[in-house]
Amino acid sequence: MLASISAYLLQGIDALPCEVEVDYDMGGINERATIVGLPDAAVKESVERVRAALTNSGYQFPRGRILVSLAPADVRKEGPLYDLPIALGLLAAQGGLSARGARNQHGEMPPDRTHEPLDLRRFLVAGELALDGRLRPIKGAIAMAALAQARRLLGVIVPAENAPEAAVVPGVEVLGARTLTEVVGLCVGEIEPRPEPTPDIEGLLRMASAPVDFAEVRGQESVKRAMVIAAAGSHNLLMLGPAGTGKTMMAKALPGILPPLTPAEAVEITRVYSASGALGAGKGLVTTRPVRSPHHTASASAIVGGGAIPKPGEISLAHRGVLFLDELAEFPRDVLETLRQPMEDHVVTIARSHSAVRFPASFMLVAAMNPTPKGDMPADEFGRRQMDRYLAKISGPLLDRIDIHVEAPAVPWQALAAAPTGTSTAAMREQVLAARARQAARQDAGVPNARLSGKQLDKLAPMDEPARTLLGQAMTHLGLSARAYDKVRRVARTIADIDGSESVRVAHVAEAVQYRLLDRRV
């Protein structure tokens, strides 16, 4: 007897159709269960989990030869999400999901159903089974729901903890269940289907708040100014200063002055977190811009993404948010160099022999570093040479891709002891949103200034003659590269937007040139 259940396989952050076919031969000589279709170890172990879950839930595990085929057969399958489809396939192959209901291990029939049985052909099914029949959450439920929407299916059946995230996709009926028995009850009509309600995404985003207020940061008004410019134009930023000056705190406060997430951006980020298993149990949506802060011992694959079956890395988990690299000079140089291409292209492609997977990686890089290995500012010639050697750990091409370099000086104790009087997140956000509104009115599709091409800068960032003269002098005296030339123009365009100026003037260029601090040293 043959049964087929529709599931999915996760490739990157996208779901692809996967058909789970179960063939049961009760007359088979050997009692053996085999799974084919390039399963990984977790999939191969599904049979034993399904056996225990069926038995402990009161159903009969068939005796005979069982063959489970996962199609398409040439794409590798991973993870325990096929447990539930396999269990339902085994029950269906025995006639246990027929209109009369499912027999238990004693051959008894359940009470008469009171609701219409589900047509499983119109649903995608996925879930990990515990040995007692409970359903555990899976990865990629939101991508699964998007696949059901694209294939015009009625809905999906998922573990209850995944239901909130799957319900984010409109037009898809999401049925969450806590046990295998519940799923069988839904299938045969014993339990009334209660679809997960679609969340109010805009309402959830409105309630989101920043974890840290810039008003809590003592001093550092010049760095806050640089933060406003970075947020207004989506520019990368590097803070250089001794330990304990508030660099980490300001990086965590940065999302509070960035524009609020749009519903489309929130869903996009949630897909990445869902595919990587980082969403959190029962959480349906990422409502704030993420801040990822990997340790400097992280590997290149942890930062960029990778694995035999590629998974998102930190730069993809920071999509539409902030990637904060503290102690930048302590990261291995080969790890830092892998950031160069994603910083330009805003996507990362992980190539393997069997496929290539693209992950989104549109992030703001915010880095912080001490001036010396000891963490203090140099006080003599020896210390300055030590500082130059330490800064040389960062390559010139990487620094070229960081738009703003700013010094975070030590804060005097008087400022630390005084009541906070600095610029607040609310005031900074007001400046950022006004500048972003000017960009959106001027540039197609609201492209931030940090992504303007040279041709677009010629058109959208006109300079007066004094500004051009000053920029030419800076190029000559600082030895700026062609990429740094465009970086200065982009930052100057953002400063002009903050000031409400249509053209880029000499004061805007002068401030932008000041933010090329490390070009003089590296």
pLDDT at position 414 is: 65
Domain 205-443 classification at class level: alpha beta
pLDDT one-digit tens code per residue, 131-182:
999 999 999 999 999 999 999 999 999 999 999 999 999 999 999 999 999 9
Report, in angstroms and rounded to the nearest whole number, the Rg of the chain calculated over CA atoms.
28
Kindly give the parts of the chain with pLDDT less than 50: 99-107, 109, 522
pLDDT at position 100 is: 44
pLDDT one-digit tens code per residue, 40-91:
999 999 999 999 999 999 998 888 889 999 999 988 899 999 999 999 999 9
C-alpha to C-alpha distances, 161 to 44, 274, 350, 487, nearest whole angstrom: 24, 12, 30, 45
User: Which residues partner with 348 through β-bridges?
Assistant: 359
Domain 2-188 classification at class level: alpha beta
With residue 271 as reference, give the H or E element that holds it.
Answer: helix 263-276
Q: Where are the domains of the chain?
A: 2-188, 205-443, 452-522
pTM of the model: 0.88
Q: Which CATH number fits domain 452-522: 1.10.8, 2.40.10, 1.10.3470, 2.40.160?
A: 1.10.8
C-alpha to C-alpha distances, 251 to 97, 291, 309, 408, nearest whole angstrom: 55, 8, 32, 12
pLDDT at position 32 is: 85
Rounded to 5°, angle at Cα 305 from 301 and 307: 70
Segment 204-207 long-range contacts (CB within 8 Å, at least 24 positions apart): 204/266, 204/285, 204/287, 205/260, 205/261, 205/262, 205/263, 205/266, 205/287, 206/260, 207/287
Rounded to 5°, angle at Cα 369 from 296 and 472: 125
